[in-house]
Structures are given as C-alpha cells and as structure tokens.
C-alpha cells in the first residue's frame, strides 16, 4: 500500500492545476500524473514514463527561486497563480519580511 499522508493535498493540487489549464484532463498526462501521486514513478510503463517526463514533470517539478529546493506540489497552484515560484518556506518569508 502506497501510504502518503500528503496524497489528498497533492491530488487536490493536481485538480487545481488541471482547472488552471496546466494539465489537460483530456490527455493521458492527467491520468499519468494521478498514477504518479498514487503509485509513484516506479509504476510507470516506458510509454507512461515518456509522457510523464515530457508533459507532467515540467509542470509539477519546479524549483524555488531562492533556495532551489523542489516546490511542494500542494503549494504549486498558488505559485503559478501569483507567478512566484517559491517553496512554502520562502513563500512564508516573502510575505512576512518584505
Ligand atoms: Zn525556498
């Protein structure tokens, strides 16, 4: 069983990204993105891995502009919306200090 306490948040974030048009629900990329959240990258077939790398990874793997750490998926919809690619830590700092 793939047990991830963040799964619910991540699935919701994926839905928001789909609503915003970053991932198209009518394409295989959407199903593959969901599969990734549920089962991880190891579950992919070669073809799925290809689509994931080409269409999903560029959307969901973003680095923080300040620390270069990966941005948590749950924070990504707001990062896109505000055009502010920051991890949750630096997002918090950004609004607190500046
Ligand atoms: Zn950061």
- 27-76 pLDDT tens trace: 999 999 999 999 999 999 999 999 999 999 999 999 999 999 999 999 99
The Cα diameter of the chain in Å comes to 46
CA distance linking residue 80 with residue 93, whole number of Å: 18
C-alpha 13 to ligand 1 mean position (Å): 19
C-alpha 45 to ligand 1 mean position (Å): 32
C-alpha 93 to ligand 1 mean position (Å): 9
Name the packing angle between helices 28-39 and 7-19 (round to 10°). Answer: 170
In the prediction, which pLDDT does 2 show? 52
DSSP state of 52: I
C-alpha 87 to ligand 1 mean position (Å): 4
C-alpha 39 to ligand 1 mean position (Å): 27
pLDDT band (50, 70, 90) for residue 98: low
C-alpha 76 to ligand 1 mean position (Å): 12
C-alpha 78 to ligand 1 mean position (Å): 15
């Amino acid at each position: 069983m793939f047990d991830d306490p963040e799964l619910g948040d991540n699935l919701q974030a994926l839905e928001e990204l789909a609503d915003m048009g970053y991932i198209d629900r009518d394409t295989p990329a959407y199903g593959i993105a969901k599969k990734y959240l549920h089962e991880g990258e190891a579950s992919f077939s070669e073809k799925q891995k290809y689509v994931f790398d080409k269409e999903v990874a560029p959307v969901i793997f973003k680095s923080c502009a300040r620390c270069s750490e990966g941005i948590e998926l749950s924070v990504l919809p707001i990062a896109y919306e505000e055009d502010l690619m920051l991890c949750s830590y630096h997002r918090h700092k950004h609004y607190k200090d500046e």
